[in-house]
Amino acid sequence: MDRETLIGRMDDYLAAVAASDPTALSCAPGFRYTENAATILPGEGLWGLGVRFGGIQSFADSETGQVVCMGVAFVGGQPRPFAQRLRYSDGALTEAEAIISTDAKGHFADVEQLLKPDIIYGAVVPPHRRTDRAGLRDAADRYWEGLEQSDGFIPRFNYRCDKYDNGAKTTNTLRTLLSPDGKVHSCASALNDTRAARPKARERRYPVLDIELGIAASFVAVDFHPIPDHPRPDAGAMYMLGVFKVVDEELRIVDEIREFLPLGTPIGW
C-alpha cells in the first residue's frame, strides 16, 4: 500500500473504534491488538467506550506496511494524549498497538496543544536535504541512545530543535522552571539531566521511515529508575511513540506521546 492508502486505513480504523464496530475492519487470522502494552480482544478496551478522536496526524511507510498516528482520544469526554500503530499485510490488518495516556495536563503534558497539529511534519524535505532510510533510523536511534547514555551530544540536534511531551513544549520554555526539574532545558541538556535515573531505552522499533517527509516514527520503552533521596513521579517505564522530523541529518522537532507503566513492564512487540 502507498502512503495515502495506509493513512486512509488509519482513518477507517479510528472511525470503526469511534463507532464501536470491529466488524468494519478486515483483520487477518492471528490479528493482535494491545492498549498500553496489555493484549485486548477486538471490541474491548477503547472500542466499548464511545471515544472520539481529534488532532490526528498520521505517518505511513509503504515498505513496512505500517502507519502510526498521534493526537487526542476523548475518553468519557476527557481529552487524553493518544498514539496508534497499525500493520497491514496483503490488505489485511495484522497488528494494532495503542498508547492512551493518563497524563493530560501539567508541566510535562498539555493535551489541548495536540489538537493543533504542527504543519512542519507535513512539509516535504527538498531532495538535497533528505536522509535515506538508514539515516532516518539512525537519527531516531541516536536520540534513544543519547537518552540511555544521558548524553545530549549523541543525537544531532538542529539549533532550532524543540521537544514536546504529550503536547507540552518542554525545551527552551520557562514552564519547566516551575516544574520538579526547576530548569530551562535545550534538547541536549534534557538528555544530560537524566543520568541519576539510569534510563534504559529498550524494545526500540521503527515502523515508519518516510524519506520525502523526513519522518522517523519509533516506539520504545524507557525505564527510569528511582533516585535515592529524590522521589520523582516519573520513576517507572515510559512507553512512548517518538516522532522525529529529520532535515540535513539533524533532528528538527521531536514529539513524544507517552504513558507510565510499572518499571520493567515488557511491551511485547
219-233 tens-digit pLDDT: 999 999 887 766 555
Rounded to two decimals, the pTM is: 0.94
Average pLDDT over residues 73-100: 97
Average pLDDT over residues 3-7: 97
The residue behind cell 466488524 is 23
- CATH of the domain spanning 119-261, picked from 3.30.930.10, 3.40.50.300, 3.10.450.50, 1.10.240.10: 3.10.450.50
**Residue boundaries of the structural domains of the chain:** 3-115, 119-261
pLDDT over 90 at 178, yes or no: no
- Cβ neighbours of residue 137 under 8 Å, at least 6 residues apart? 206, 209, 216
pLDDT over 70 at 177, yes or no: no
What's the CATH number for 3-115? 3.10.450.50
DSSP symbols for 202-254 = EEEEEEEEETTTTEEEEEEEEEE---TT---TT-EEEEEEEEEEEETTEEEEE
The residue behind cell 541512545 is 145
pLDDT over 70 at 246, yes or no: yes
pLDDT over 60 at 23, yes or no: yes
Domain 119-261 in the same topology as domain 3-115: yes
Q: What is the pLDDT of residue 148?
A: 96
pLDDT over 80 at 166, yes or no: yes
- Percentage of the chain lying above the pLDDT 70 cut: 95
Which helix (H) or strand (E) segment is 191 a member of?
Answer: helix 187-192
Average pLDDT over residues 180-198: 84
- Cβ neighbours of residue 102 under 8 Å, at least 6 residues apart? 80, 259, 260
Average pLDDT over residues 2-8: 97
Please, which pLDDT band fits residue 196 given cuts at 50, 70 and 90?
A: confident
Q: What is the pLDDT of residue 233?
A: 56
CA dist., res. 59 & res. 121, Å (int): 9
Q: What is the pLDDT of residue 173?
A: 80
Write 228-232 long-range contacts (CB < 8 A, 24+). 230/196, 232/180, 232/197
- Computed over its alpha carbons, how large is the radius of gyration of the chain? 18
pLDDT over 80 at 234, yes or no: no
Q: Which residue has the higher pLDDT, 22 or 220?
A: 220
Task: Count Cβ atoms within 10 A of the Cβ of residue 89 and give its class: 0-12 exposed, 13-18 middle, 19 or more buried.
Answer: exposed
pLDDT over 60 at 262, yes or no: yes
pLDDT over 90 at 180, yes or no: no
